[in-house]
Amino acid sequence: MKMKKITSLLLVGAMTLGMTSVVSAEEATKIRILWPETDSTQVDVIENYIQPALAEQFPDIEFEYIPANLNQDSPLKTMSAADDLPEIWYTDGGSVDAIVAAGDALDVSSYVEADGWLDENYNNPSLLYNGDAIYFLTPGQNTYYSPVFYYNKGIFDENGIEVPTNMDEFVAACQKLVDAGVTPITTAQWVSSYSLIDGIIASADPEAFKGLNARTTNWTDDSVKAALGYFDQLKTMGAFTADIPNKDDATAYAEFQSGKAAMIFTYSWFNGDMVEENLGFEAGSFSFPNASDDYIQLIFEPRKGNGGGYTCNADYDDPELLVSILKVMLNAECERHNANGVSTNYIVENPAQPANDFETARFADYDRAESQISVLEQGQMDGVTIAEFTTLYNMLLSDDQGYLSENFIEEFQPIWEANTYGPAE
């Protein structure tokens, strides 16, 4: 059994001149919080909202904040094996299965269900459950985040390119940029891994994507192969900037900002960063190009109970304290999101309104979409499948022109068949 982290009152005894006096000194409670240092939004959340809120609400607790990149080489499994997980950590989708199986994650359901707190504070509480348990608390902003292409309006205008409305137009626009000596697309590895293949399939053949999501279609299906043919066209024409398998958000943004790429593919939490003041040019945006009635809006909401929030260590001796800390963190994070016009599953007093034209356009996409479906890596892959998918996808995205979708499908299909997650609910 893992040793509990015990907070206690230390009694110090001293005896002088035959008289004994007992002096009690309270040892400061220490709480470590591992947080996802993945982008400017998370840095803002932790430094300007969560840290001040916890300092105010828990002045007698000493907090240690541990930044970590949970998108690549997540340390959670290693820390779990070494019995060195912090008191609170952010659970990513790739690690949640192993963390839960190891018994590391505290089931907070009984604490948050008490007095109706959960139902009173969430629009859709069911998204938090993993079976009958709840292993993390999250604002649920990912319900409203979606993959998006931001583009340099000046470059598009110079080359006579209109915003594409289907995948044929998108590929043609990229070819036109390549012919003009402009690299069309930059993106971070994890963004691309989570949603580029998904978006191409969902745009080219919505029914094929629904079939994958429902586990009624395999990757060897002709409709899936045909959809991924668009990826092959993009790769072989040189539509992507170099070394995307090793690229992070900041590097991709810098390439877009400097004009090295006409478009950046990322998530809509970058809406606030795409202003002319930051970029030096005017940007536009569009979701995956599909103007038809069967348009699917991809979202970043994990499968129910599958990571994406803060988790308490099951071996800590005061679970009520950890849950109370989580609630303060939750409120603080939602304050940040709401202040930036980002909607959340967590109920706030004055819900955010679209903060800019990008947000307005995104909400319009939500309204016009036939359905909102989570990306496959979040919604339909267990931890082992995610790891294998990432490895093979990096090969597909690499500069190796001999590795195309046909190779990817051949290697990934058996892994997909062994995937333990069932059909989408």
CA contacts within 13 A on the Cβ side of 166: 9
- pLDDT at residue 3 in the model: 38
Average pLDDT rounded to a whole number, residues 88-115: 90
- pLDDT at residue 111 in the model: 97
- Over its C-alpha atoms, the chain yields an Rg (Å, rounded) of 24
| Locus of tokens 């191409």 | 200
- pLDDT at residue 14 in the model: 33
Task: Give, to the nearest 10 degrees, the angle between helix 206-214 and helix 222-237.
Answer: 120
- pLDDT at residue 353 in the model: 74
Any idea which of 13-22, 102-111, 325-334 has the lowest mean pLDDT?
Answer: 13-22
- pLDDT at residue 188 in the model: 95
**Other residues' Cβ atoms within 10 Å of the Cβ of residue 132:** 8
Furthest CA-CA distance within the chain? 95
What angle is formed at CA 247 by the lines to CA 198 and CA 42, rounded to 5 degrees? 80
- pLDDT at residue 322 in the model: 98
Flag whether pLDDT at 10 surpasses 60: no
* Cα–Cα distance for residue pair 116/112, rounded to 1 Å: 8
- Those residues whose C-beta lies under 8 Å from the C-beta of residue 156, and which sit 6 or more positions away, are 162, 163, 262, 284
pTM confidence score = 0.71
- pLDDT at residue 72 in the model: 58
CA contacts within 13 A on the Cβ side of 377: 25
* Cα–Cα distance for residue pair 270/150, rounded to 1 Å: 9
Flag whether pLDDT at 18 surpasses 50: no
Q: Which residues of 350-382 are buried (b: 16+ CB within 10 A; e: fewer)?
A: eebebeeebbebbeebeeebeeebbbbbbbbbb
- pLDDT at residue 398 in the model: 92
**85 within 8 A of 66, measured Cβ to Cβ:** no
Q: Is the dihedral of CA 189, 48, 90, 304 positive or negative?
A: negative
With residue 157 as reference, give the H or E element that holds it: helix 153-158
Token pair recorded at residue 186: 């930059």
**Other residues' Cβ atoms within 10 Å of the Cβ of residue 223:** 17
Burial of 348 (0-12, 13-18, 19+ CB in 10 A): middle
Flag whether pLDDT at 17 surpasses 60: no
Any idea which of 8-17, 273-282, 340-349, 368-377 has the lowest mean pLDDT?
Answer: 8-17
* Cα–Cα distance for residue pair 220/202, rounded to 1 Å: 16
> Torsions phi, psi of 91, nearest 5?
-95, 120
Flag whether pLDDT at 49 surpasses 50: yes
**Other residues' Cβ atoms within 10 Å of the Cβ of residue 291:** 12
Which 3 state secondary structure label does DSSP give 187? Answer: strand
Please give the residue that has the higher pLDDT: either 355 or 234.
Answer: 234
- pLDDT at residue 113 in the model: 96
> pLDDT (tens digit, 9 = 90+) per residue, 187-230?
999 999 989 999 999 999 999 999 998 889 999 999 999 999 99
**Other residues' Cβ atoms within 10 Å of the Cβ of residue 417:** 11
* Cα–Cα distance for residue pair 200/289, rounded to 1 Å: 9
Any idea which of 194-208, 298-312, 320-334 has the lowest mean pLDDT?
Answer: 298-312
* Cα–Cα distance for residue pair 358/148, rounded to 1 Å: 10
Quote the percentage of the chain above a pLDDT of 90.
60
Average pLDDT, the chain: 87
> pLDDT (tens digit, 9 = 90+) per residue, 126-161?
888 888 999 999 988 766 678 999 999 999 999 999
